[in-house]
Amino acid sequence: MTKFLQAGLCAALLSGMAAATPLSSGQHQLLQGFLMRSCVKRTPASDGVGQPGNEQVQRYCQCASEKLAGTFSEEEVMGVVTGQIKKDDPRGKQRLKEASAACGQYLEQR
């Protein structure tokens, strides 16, 4: 489940920056929208047995992208964009795992 977020973010983020600047509301919305679109694109929906439906995927992606976007600072976003923070950084993988776990209930069959 975290593959879509890993691909969407293309980076793992540093979690302990000394003077991290929070994202502005507009920056947060842009990032969350990007993560949401990436999540929906990479999370398969199906009406088949054992697969989440489109509505479940939408709710899951909304939740996960919101939680994940809330963990970014301006410096981290710039680090991702400039390639200073690599996608295989273990701290980022942990953030992806936590966001996915926090929202996994939306993918459960009802």
pLDDT, tens digit, 9 for 90 and up, residues 9-47: 433 343 344 468 999 999 999 999 999 999 999 888 776
**What is the per-residue pLDDT for 85?**
83
Provide mean pLDDT across the span 39-56. Answer: 80
Q: Given this model, what pLDDT does residue 29 score?
A: 95
Q: Is the pLDDT of residue 98 over 60?
A: yes
Q: 35 Cβ partners below 8 Å, 6+ apart?
A: 5, 8, 9, 61, 64, 65, 68, 69
**Residue 95: how many CB atoms within 10 A of its CB?**
21
